[in-house]
A and B are shown apart, each in its own frame.
Chain A
């Protein structure tokens, strides 16, 4: 199952903000605790009648406000963009307490700070100006747009293939053609495993399509690929197998439709590339994912493909910023692929339970060697 963390787009946005923030820390040699923006936190002293802010201008990026409530009422602090659009907020600051607000402000312009003693009304407002931000960014941002566009194409190609192959797999299950369905199973999952980080953004669809039996929550029905895997390899097809198959196709179609509307950032690509290898390390190298069919190596190859796909999209950015990292990645990708190629059998792979302990160990070691440099990619593209 989904190893990659299920996060809503909103959460990823703020994760992105924090990633960028960390990058800020390291490039500006800030010695403060993680989370302090370049230039140090902006101090806000809030009382029942005043809201004094230690700076009224800042450069675009991640801003940190440290709010001290010196008043007698519970207060709130807000940063508003024009039109009172909330950029960030801290609520419920009791008298005597200090709170911190970290807010990503990518665009220069006019903003307002506000303290709200008593947590009501418009608050005590002050003007706040954010400078810079736009210059020098255009080339990088064009590169980033190109990268996400290129990856979107990769996702689209794979998701359309996923829909086609799932339809064939489902038809075979419904016709009771067990051998044909078994042959189709691993082939179909390749397209899912390649774009798994994207699929996992849709929190309810992914478990419904890809949950392992052990992941099913109490009271939840075991559905999706792995349920049919169990039916095909272990228990034999059951009376409700055709319904499970129908539901799988419906879910896959819904997923494919959703992927078309998804907006991905370069950080999503970088983290996805790494996440796919983590998935290999914890689920494929242990043979856990395909408990019944043992077709883990098909998934392994697909995860590797997906990771390569994301890195390929980021390649122009990486090449410009850290060419050594690119050549390391190329070498380690090739190494893992070389090991996988040795386990090929027919037009597929050996079954997981046919691997020797030495082979498993070699895979684990090669995946570690690839994952380490992959974990550096996000920081490079976030610069």
Chain B
């Protein structure tokens, strides 16, 4: 989207280049060598231009959190099926190497989809061959259940990584909840995101199994001021007041775990709450425009808070209409979720719309896959959701059907691996 303006097709298509070279190699000189050349060339190939469509895999924090939200998501929660901690640690190393390559637009393994033995299944599943890196980010997390007695990690469990409490009106499906690990893949192209998760899952067979997964399209929040505010499936702009990548002070206070927060290995990490929120689209569509605006607390067109004129005008919870009644109702979504009402507490949202077909009685199985990052779920997400679940007028049209919580470890250097802090 806007984040990759100015890129040129030719320079961003690393997989396609590789494909061309590998194809030529098969014909001329033998596959393995050609693929090697391809990767080498890639490394020295006008890095500045190529980087415009790639997100750096390394950094103080994992990519995919404050990275300008890409339009597509494939999220997977996995359970670890082995009891051998060594195997798990080895898989995390394998995943790191694969993720390093895929986020750079390379195939998952050196032989890729085409250059290996014709008598063996390909290294890479191949469906992303002609596609650029597409701003792919891969973000990994550890669920509370990973810290049980299987791997000797109990003492490493951060106090912030609680088992989420029950929230009023939840109708959670165990087949869409929980998980020892999670992989969040975000990309400009859905096929690239799906490819990445599919290949990591494949590398994990025998050590992990997928517990549930979710596809998302149409990011429903912005994580950067460079982005326009998108609309959710209710047709409203979503995430106007989200914490943005540019708000570095707020991120430090509200999103990034600090060394003194409980577990030093989590410093620079954060905590992810994932909630699958089914929307009752059909009944919402029968709500009057005024009613919809009243429930949200914003106008549907510009997204301005009620009583204001522009989308980014400051929300004024005091502004009164007839008889002095607040224009933003007591049970309006933005009043209950606002920073003022929440006493300064904020979270970084990174949600996606989803449509999983229909539900068997002719209604869309659709909604918002809510992903939010915060520094301490106990004091940020949980109290906010308790209030929303019990008071938000919008709850009439929502049902939370899946729920999970993960500790997102800090970012990596070019030589470190996921799990290093955990198993140190």
Which of B186-194, B266-274, B290-298 lies at the binding interface? B290-298
Docked Cα-Cα span, A185 to B188, in Å, equals: 55
Is A122 interfacial (CB 8 A cutoff)?
Answer: no
Which secondary structure dominates where chain B touches chain A? loop
Is the beta-carbon distance between B168 and A14 smaller than 8 angstroms?
no
Quick one: closest A residue to B291, CB to CB?
Answer: A15
| Min distance, Cβ A217 to any Cβ of chain B, angstroms | 5
State whether A288 and B171 are in contact (beta carbons under 8 Å apart), knowing that A34-B299, A35-B299, A101-B307 are contacts in the complex.
Answer: yes
Is A337 interfacial (CB 8 A cutoff)?
Answer: no
Is A245 interfacial (CB 8 A cutoff)?
Answer: no
Is B321 interfacial (CB 8 A cutoff)?
Answer: yes
Give the interface size bracket for B toward A. Answer: 35 or more
| Min distance, Cβ A307 to any Cβ of chain B, angstroms | 13
Q: Mark A21-56, 1 if CB is under 8 A from B, else 0.
A: 110000000000111000000000000000000000
Is A266 interfacial (CB 8 A cutoff)?
Answer: no
Is the beta-carbon distance between A14 and B171 smaller than 8 angstroms?
no
Is the beta-carbon distance between B299 and A33 smaller than 8 angstroms?
yes
Docked Cα-Cα span, A357 to B360, in Å, equals: 8
Which of B1-9, B113-121, B231-239, B326-334 lies at the binding interface? B326-334
By a CB distance below 8 angstroms, the chain A residues around B288 are: 19, 22, 271, 375, 378-379
| Min distance, Cβ B10 to any Cβ of chain A, angstroms | 43
Is the beta-carbon distance between A6 and B286 smaller than 8 angstroms?
no
Is the beta-carbon distance between A104 and B321 smaller than 8 angstroms?
yes
State whether A374 and B321 are in contact (beta carbons under 8 Å apart), knowing that A18-B293, A215-B168, A364-B362 are contacts in the complex.
Answer: no
By a CB distance below 8 angstroms, the chain A residues around B294 are: 11, 14-15, 18
Within 8 A of B (CB), among A270-300: 271, 274, 278, 281-282, 285, 288
Quick one: closest A residue to B172, CB to CB?
Answer: A214
By a CB distance below 8 angstroms, the chain B residues around A22 are: 288-290
By a CB distance below 8 angstroms, the chain A residues around B313 are: 97-99
| Min distance, Cβ A96 to any Cβ of chain B, angstroms | 12
Quick one: closest B residue to A94, CB to CB?
Answer: B314
A4 touches which of B307, B361, B396 (Cβ 8 Å): B396
Q: Mark B10-45, 1 if CB is under 8 A from A, else 0.
A: 000000000000000000000000000000000000
Is A361 interfacial (CB 8 A cutoff)?
Answer: yes
Is the beta-carbon distance between B331 and A14 smaller than 8 angstroms?
no
With A282-B399, A361-B362 already in contact, 12 other A-B pairs whose C-beta atoms are closer than 8 Å: A3-B396, A14-B294, A17-B321, A35-B306, A98-B308, A98-B310, A101-B319, A104-B321, A218-B168, A282-B283, A360-B361, A372-B286
Q: Could you pull out 5 A-B pairs where Cβ atoms are within 8 angstroms?
A: A90-B320, A99-B309, A102-B307, A104-B321, A368-B282
Q: Which A residues fall within an 8 A CB radius of B? A: 1, 3-8, 10-11, 13-15, 17-19, 21-22, 33-35, 66, 86-92, 97-105, 214-218, 271, 274, 278, 281-282, 285, 288, 357, 360-361, 363-365, 368, 371-372, 374-375, 378-379
